[in-house]
Structure 1
Amino acid sequence: MTLVVTGGGSGIGLATVRLALAAGRSVAVLDLDVSAVSDVDKAISVDITDPGRVHRAVRSLGPLTGLVTCAGIAPSGGLLDSSPDELRRVFDVNVHGTAYAMQAVAPVLRDGGGGAIVTIASVAAHRGGGLLGGTPYAASKAAVIGLTRAAAREFAPFGITVNSVAPGPVRTPLLAEPEAFAATTLLNRVATPGEIAEAVLFLLGPAGRNITGEVLNTNAGAHFA
Structure 2
Amino acid sequence: MIKTLIFDFGDVFINLDKQGAITNALNLFEIETFPEELTAINSLYEQGLISTNEFLEFYQDNFPALDKSSILDAWNCILKDFPSHRLEFIQQLKNDKQYNLILLSNTNELHIEWIKNEIRFYEDFKNCFNKFYLSHEINLRKPDTAIYDFVLKENNLAPETCLFIDDLKENTDSAALLGINTWNINPETDDVTQLFITNKHLF
Superposition TM-score tier, normalisation by shorter sequence: 0.3 to 0.5
Normalized per residue, which structure has more helix?
A: 2
Structure with greater strand share of residues: 1
Q: Which has the larger radius of gyration?
A: 2
The alignment's TM-score, normalised by the length of structure 2, stands at 0.32
Q: Which has the higher contact order (CA 8 A, sep 6+)?
A: 2
